Amino acid sequence: MASASLMKLNASSSQWIGQNSFNQSHGSSSRLSSNRVSFSIRASGSYTDELIQTAKSVASPGRGILAIDESSATAGKRLASIGLDNTEPNRLAYRQLLLTTPGLGEYISGAILFEETLYQSTTDGKKMVDVLREQNIMPGIKVDKGLVPLPGSNNESWCQGLDGLASRSAEYYKQGARFAKWRTVVSIPCGPSALAVKEAAWGLARYAAISQDNGLVPIVEPEILLDGDHSIDRTLEVAEKVWSEVFFYLAENNVVFEGILLKPSMVTPGAEHKEKASPDTIAEYTLKLLRRRVPPAVPGIMFLSGGQSEVEATLNLNAMNKTPNPWHVSFSYARALQNSVLKAWQGLPENVEAAQKALLIRAKANSLAQLGRYSAEGEAEDAKQGMFVKGYTY
């Protein structure tokens, strides 16, 4: 699939997105734009109304997404941090702990699952998707197949998984999934090259169209990695370029904007930059990006935490919700919801209740942040510890 994408993109991998590239017509973009007029209008598919309702359900006031779609290898790293072996029973025990938390649906509207979890049942025989439905939590599924090196680029990656995606998505829908997630990344220290940005945007657009054709609301996630020592202005510059490409290709693929969700990274300085940004500054820059690039037809913007501490991610989300937005601005957190849970659980059955209380504390904090009502007063010191990992994969 990569080769087809590369032919379509027709961009030089040596061309980086630099300070001047946004104001100049680089050859590949200007040539493509003259031939990019599409006169076809997508007929409303059989799933269109359902997609719109699903997206609205996930983007409901005071709620966000719990991301537990880590691969088995990454789940193993989580378990290893508390001294557990990476076995299916241990993975099931942990994910069951999360999804059976009483009252979780008050703060969580959707849960992104790994394929293993989508097909699992609890130890007492109840399907995981039914556990979620009973709490009015929409089941979702990670559908990408991970990052691999992008030939011809500046040591960058592209996301694989389009081959067979339609048939897999149809099966996921039958199993009860109603939304999907596809993560690709853009690295600022690697340029980024125009090739990598266009490949990311095109792959996301194809995935989104395939998902909608099979009844799944696509979460569109081009993550701008925190790696690097760049300024917040540089992050904004790259993010604007990435999102302009993403929305161009979404439109070219006739994706219904009312039936998608976004999962962007917040606009922050690089993790190694000498100056940290305040929540108000991060909110200012991130909302500036959204207003410039995201149509108001998109119902929900569910931010990833990207290695921020639990408290940082919540404070930044709260700052973005101090004033009204044309979209539901919320969260789709993994580590920023799970870190305290793992520490409380330690793999011991007698700690399950304490771990579930820890999850509710974090979920409620982010629910309040979605409503612009969060205060960090009384937060534990552990929740303030950053979780950035250079070159993080999952």
Q: Which residues are catalytic?
A: 221, 263
| CA dist., res. 116 & res. 125, Å (int) | 15
How many Å apart are CA 253 and CA 289, to the nearest integer?
23
Contact yes or no for 227/390 (Cβ under 8 A): yes
Distance CA 162, CA 302 (A): 23
Residue that the structure tokens 């990670």 belong to: 142
Write phi, then psi, for 180 (nearest 5 degrees). -130, 165
CB of 213 closer than 8 Å to CB of 47: yes
CA separation for the pair 177, 326 (Å, rounded): 27
CB under 8 A, 24+ apart: contacts of 166-174: 166/210, 166/213, 166/214, 168/143, 169/143, 169/210, 169/211, 169/213, 169/214, 169/215, 169/216, 170/214, 170/215, 172/118, 172/141, 172/143, 172/214, 172/216, 173/214, 173/215, 173/216
